[in-house]
Amino acid sequence: MTCRRQSGERGSVTVWTLGMVLVVMFLGAISFDLWSGFSTRRQFAGAVDQAAQAGANALDEPLFRATGQRKLDPQRAKLLAEDNLAAQNLHGVTAVAIDASTDQVTVEVTATVDVGLLRIFGGGEPLVVHVRAVGQPREATP
């Protein structure tokens, strides 16, 4: 039994297969870029949470010993948050804002993430990640 091919269909399956492989590779690269952006945002969120909690450990000890009130020493809280954030060695950070009061510490970080193929859709700009965390001294537990 012989199999006859029609002359107009030679190589069409090969071209179709190569096209599908390129589409799948393109979608895979975009997925990898998105995953990288989400992963970086999660990393920065964890780092900012840690820094805010480190700052929330700066109790005003003389006030606490005298009255039992859990208030922060704002200068020490800001210093602890800055030191904790610096020790984490984050890359791509473009702005850091740390604000401390006697009630809470707020840490905000803005960073950029280089995403290769996603730049096609974003006009060539890197992905901007902005995270914020608030730390407060914990109330006494029984």
- CA-CA distance, 66 to 51, in Å (whole number)? 28
Residue of higher predicted confidence among 1 and 21: 21
Predicted pLDDT at 34? 80
Residue 104 contacts residue 91 (beta carbons within 8 Å): no
- How far CA 103 is from CA of 3, 36, 59, 85, 133, in Å, comes to 83, 35, 10, 20, 14
Structure tokens at 79: 């210093």
Per-residue pLDDT band for 7 (boundaries 50, 70, 90) equals low
* Percent of residues, the chain, with pLDDT higher than 90: 35
pLDDT score for 141: 56
Does residue 1 surpass a pLDDT of 90? no
Label each residue of 80-109 as H, E or C. HHHHHHHHCCCCCEEEEEEEECCCCEEEEE
pLDDT one-digit tens code per residue, 18-53 = 999 999 988 888 888 788 888 888 999 999 999 999
* Residues 6+ positions from 4 with CB-CB distance below 8 Å: none
Read off the pLDDT of residues 79-137 as tens digits, 9 standing for 90 and up: 999 999 999 988 888 899 999 998 999 999 998 887 776 666 666 677 788 899 998 88
The closest alpha carbon to 77, from 111, 54, 109, 110, belongs to 54
Whether 142 shows a pLDDT value over 60: the answer reads no
pLDDT computed for residue 93 by the predictor: 87
Res 48: pLDDT? 94
